[in-house]
């Protein structure tokens, strides 16, 4: 047996099959032989499964695929993993070993990049529940953003935006231990670990690079001189190192960034792809004489080539992900990536609308000419794609989409069916546009109003030919049983009535044309709530809670669109109370921190001012990617 065949993920996959069969009622001694091994079918991520009363055989093209295959086998015999957590898991009753029969079948992933990137506020347990679910959903990548995902833990454990939960501060030792556990659980499943992203500019200025925390100006002159010169000054942009661009023409800056990436890659062989991004805000590029001679993308590519050269010299094969985003949407004018095989292009259309999806083809036309520090971000997805097409003229390597359906837009769709539809439609366009997959930049706690978007994402990223209608039907029937039709009718009506752009700050706040639509959502939610019986089912209870939340949310938006601020605040207070009280009951389902941040910062809703407690952190700055 070779080292690769003894991979711990194979043993874990076999144990998972045994564990679930026991949970389904089979006694240990009556379990059939279970073999999980590497082998045909070949392909990047592919598996073959078959089983009967005597033997269950699972083969994967790599350890991760064997694990995905193990869960696929369980699904064939009646298990379901609709979303992270036990309440979303369906375990059949197995009474007879004949029920283990599955004729041989093979399956191959349609996309190489199938993953999610952590955003929002999460506890360690919530992150681990998601990591556990990723292979069950057919996904292969976990992007633990930053060098350590401190910011997401800090928001959760301090219970930012939820004063009803007792805050606590994590020690450095706890964060280190959390991180070790998180990485170990990702690796146990053979998932690909992506790390870093923003934060390189922070580290070049002497800060940790684990979030968007506000910091004092650097004291050391060598750090200050690295900051971009903006309006005659070299100062942190808004006080946030992760949002601050550097003077990239400086040899010292280029060397510092290169050295840091190489040292990081060397120290972290467990990281499969290192994301190297610049600052997280736009229109704050250096205005010094040297920087003005060139474009940001040319400077970026020059540094990428330096990193590649240094990694090669160090004998490191680490893949580097580079970002098309804000100013970097413009392709370089002169510089070219010398070794495309080292790099992965990541297209992040952060400013897009979600009311329309990706087109089948990039629309004709050129991006507008670039003007330093006066860029307007493209709203339309077609316009965003024109930049990508221009980059494709100079880079033919691997590429994936990094998109935000569940990063903010979803708060504008309290039925989730519109956002699920856009997401599914977009995934079906991925290959035609020349991408090899999608990583969702998302809050992890996105199961309320329902988990259809994440479930469908996993299904379509594995099999692009799956029909979204079939996925939705299976999801609702599987989770809601006899209540599926009414639940679907309600979510469909709500999604058809809402306007995701309005909630995400696109367009004026006074929109009397939308008022009637939000009133109708409120009316429907109340009517549905009045006739819903509580039968103790945890999923239906969540549905009942969603109805109350949606009624208050729609009341607030109806008042806001009509210009009645007092009524909007009264309804919004109710909404905040509902979601905050519920967070202790369903901590995994809805990201209260982020919902409140988005509804206040973007939608423009205001709470009745309350007296902050001593432990409450000050509001942090907005993040972008």
Q: DSSP 3-state assignment of 479?
A: helix
Of 227 and 346, the one with the shorter C-beta distance to Zn ion is: 227
Of 227 and 472, the one with the shorter C-beta distance to Zn ion is: 227
Of the candidates 539, 573, 582, the one whose C-alpha atom is nearest the C-alpha of residue 553 is 573
Report, in Å, the least distance between residue 254 CB and Zn ion: 11
Which bin fits 273, alpha (ψ -120 to 50), beta or left (φ > 0)? beta
Burial group, residue 381, by CB count within 10 angstroms (0-12, 13-18, 19+): buried
Q: How far apart are CA 332 and CA 337, in angstroms?
A: 10
Tokens 């992760």 correspond to what residue? Answer: 242
Distances (CA, A) of 618 to 57, 214, 534, 602, 621: 54, 10, 39, 18, 10
Of 202 and 422, the one with the shorter C-beta distance to Zn ion is: 202
- How would you label 541-560 residue by residue, b for 16+ Cβ within 10 Å and e otherwise? bbbebbbbbbbbbbbbbbbb
Q: DSSP 3-state assignment of 290?
A: helix
Report, in Å, the least distance between residue 229 CB and Zn ion: 6
DSSP characters for 59-115?
A: EESSHHHHHHHHHHHHHHTT-EE-SSSGGGEE-----SGGGG-EEEEEEE-S-SEEE
Report, in Å, the least distance between residue 204 CB and Zn ion: 13
Tokens of 489: 């009718």
Of 142 and 304, the one with the shorter C-beta distance to Zn ion is: 304
Q: How far apart are CA 553 and CA 572, in angstroms?
A: 6
Q: How far apart are CA 153 and CA 188, in angstroms?
A: 22
In degrees and rounded to multiples of 5, residue 368 shows phi and psi of -65, 155
Report, in Å, the least distance between residue 379 CB and Zn ion: 30
Report, in Å, the least distance between residue 561 CB and Zn ion: 45
Report, in Å, the least distance between residue 296 CB and Zn ion: 10
Of 102 and 286, the one with the shorter C-beta distance to Zn ion is: 286
Of 240 and 247, the one with the shorter C-beta distance to Zn ion is: 247
| 3-state percent helix, strand, coil for the chain, nearest multiple of 5 | 45, 15, 40
CB-CB neighbours of 42 under 10 Å: 8
Report, in Å, the least distance between residue 298 CB and Zn ion: 13
Q: DSSP 3-state assignment of 517?
A: helix
Which bin fits 326, alpha (ψ -120 to 50), beta or left (φ > 0)? left
Report, in Å, the least distance between residue 251 CB and Zn ion: 11
Of 290 and 474, the one with the shorter C-beta distance to Zn ion is: 290
Report, in Å, the least distance between residue 195 CB and Zn ion: 28
Report, in Å, the least distance between residue 232 CB and Zn ion: 12
Of 12 and 248, the one with the shorter C-beta distance to Zn ion is: 248
Of 48 and 256, the one with the shorter C-beta distance to Zn ion is: 256
Q: How far apart are CA 77 and CA 367, in angstroms?
A: 51
Report, in Å, the least distance between residue 375 CB and Zn ion: 17
Tokens of 187: 């690796």
Q: DSSP 3-state assignment of 449?
A: coil
Q: DSSP 3-state assignment of 560?
A: helix
Report, in Å, the least distance between residue 216 CB and Zn ion: 22
Q: DSSP 3-state assignment of 156?
A: helix
Of 256 and 291, the one with the shorter C-beta distance to Zn ion is: 291
Distances (CA, A) of 563 to 509, 515, 568, 597, 608: 8, 10, 8, 21, 17
Of 222 and 577, the one with the shorter C-beta distance to Zn ion is: 222
In degrees and rounded to multiples of 5, residue 117 shows phi and psi of -115, 135
Under the rule (CB under 5 A), what is the footprint of Zn ion? 247, 249, 286, 288, 291
Of 141 and 291, the one with the shorter C-beta distance to Zn ion is: 291
CB-CB neighbours of 25 under 10 Å: 12
Of 126 and 299, the one with the shorter C-beta distance to Zn ion is: 299
- Half-sphere exposure for 281 (CA within 13 Å, toward CB): 21
Report, in Å, the least distance between residue 278 CB and Zn ion: 13
Of 230 and 441, the one with the shorter C-beta distance to Zn ion is: 230
∠207-208-210 over CA atoms, to 5°? 130
- Distinct helix (H) and strand (E) counts, the chain: 20, 14
Q: How far apart are CA 235 and CA 190, in angstroms?
A: 42
Of 244 and 525, the one with the shorter C-beta distance to Zn ion is: 244
Of 247 and 296, the one with the shorter C-beta distance to Zn ion is: 247
Report, in Å, the least distance between residue 613 CB and Zn ion: 43
Report, in Å, the least distance between residue 326 CB and Zn ion: 17
Report, in Å, the least distance between residue 203 CB and Zn ion: 18
Tokens of 167: 């805050």
């Amino acid at each position: 047996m070779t080292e690769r065949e003894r991979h711990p993920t194979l043993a874990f996959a076999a144990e998972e099959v045994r564990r679930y069969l026991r949970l389904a009622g089979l006694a240990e001694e009556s379990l059939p032989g279970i073999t999980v091994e590497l082998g045909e079918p070949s392909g990047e991520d592919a598996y073959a499964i078959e089983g009967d009363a005597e033997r269950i055989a699972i083969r994967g093209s790599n350890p991760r695929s064997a694990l995905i295959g193990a869960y696929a086998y369980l699904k064939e015999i009646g298990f379901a993993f609709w979303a992270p957590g036990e309440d979303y898991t369906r375990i059949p009753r197995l009474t007879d070993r004949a029920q283990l029969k599955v004729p041989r079948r093979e399956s191959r992933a349609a996309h190489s990049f199938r993953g999610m990137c952590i955003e929002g506020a999460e506890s360690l347990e919530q992150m681990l529940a998601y990591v556990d679910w990723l292979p069950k959903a057919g996904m292969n990548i976990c992007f633990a953003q930053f060098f350590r995902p401190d910011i997401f833990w800090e928001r959760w454990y301090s219970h930012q935006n939820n004063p009803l939960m007792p805050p606590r501060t994590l020690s450095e030792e706890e964060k280190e231990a959390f991180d070790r556990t998180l990485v170990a659980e990702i690796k146990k499943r053979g998932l690909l670990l992506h790390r870093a992203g923003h934060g390189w500019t922070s580290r070049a200025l002497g800060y940790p690079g684990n979030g968007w925390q506000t910091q004092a100006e650097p004291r050391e002159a060598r750090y200050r001189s690295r900051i971009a010169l903006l309006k005659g000054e070299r100062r942190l942009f808004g006080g946030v190192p992760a949002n601050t661009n550097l003077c990239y023409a400086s040899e010292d800056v280029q060397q510092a960034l290169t050295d840091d990436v190489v040292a990081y890659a060397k120290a972290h062989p467990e990281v499969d792809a290192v994301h190297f991004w610049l600052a997280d805000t736009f229109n704050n590029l250096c205005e010094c004489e040297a920087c003005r001679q060139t474009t940001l993308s040319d400077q970026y590519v020059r540094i990428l080539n330096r990193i590649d050269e240094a990694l090669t010299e160090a004998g490191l094969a680490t893949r580097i992900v580079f970002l098309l985003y804000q100013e970097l949407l413009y392709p370089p004018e002169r510089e070219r990536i010398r070794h495309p095989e080292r790099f992965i292009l990541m297209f992040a259309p952060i400013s897009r609308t979600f009311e329309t999806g990706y087109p089948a083809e990039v629309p004709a036309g050129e991006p507008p000419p670039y003007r330093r520090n006066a860029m307007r971000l493209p709203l339309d997805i077609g316009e965003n794609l024109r930049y990508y097409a221009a980059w494709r003229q100079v880079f033919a390597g691997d590429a994936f989409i990094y998109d935000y359906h569940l990063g903010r837009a979803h708060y504008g769709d309290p039925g989730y069916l519109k956002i699920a539809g856009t997401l599914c439609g977009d995934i079906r366009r991925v290959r035609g546009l020349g991408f090899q997959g999608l990583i969702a930049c998302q809050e992890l706690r996105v199961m309320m109003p329902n988990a259809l978007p994440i479930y469908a994402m996993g299904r379509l990223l594995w099999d692009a030919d799956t029909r979204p209608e079939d996925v939705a039907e299976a999801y609702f029937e599987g989770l809601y049983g006899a209540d599926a039709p009414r639940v679907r009718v309600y979510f469909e009506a709500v999604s058809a009535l809402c306007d995701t752009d309005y909630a995400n700050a696109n367009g004026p706040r006074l929109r009397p044309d939308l008022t009637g639509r939000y009133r109708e959502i409120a009316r429907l939610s109340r009517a549905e709530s009045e006739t819903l019986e509580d039968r103790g089912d945890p999923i239906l209870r969540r549905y009942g809670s969603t109805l109350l939340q949606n009624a208050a949310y729609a009341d607030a938006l109806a008042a806001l669109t009509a210009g009645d601020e007092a009524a909007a605040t009264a309804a919004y207070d109710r909404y905040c109370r509902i979601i905050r009280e519920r967070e202790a009951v369903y901590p995994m389902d809805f990201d209260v921190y982020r919902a409140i941040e988005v509804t206040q910062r973007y939608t423009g809703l205001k709470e009745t001012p309350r007296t902050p407690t001593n432990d409450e952190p000050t509001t942090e700055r907005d993040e972008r990617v």
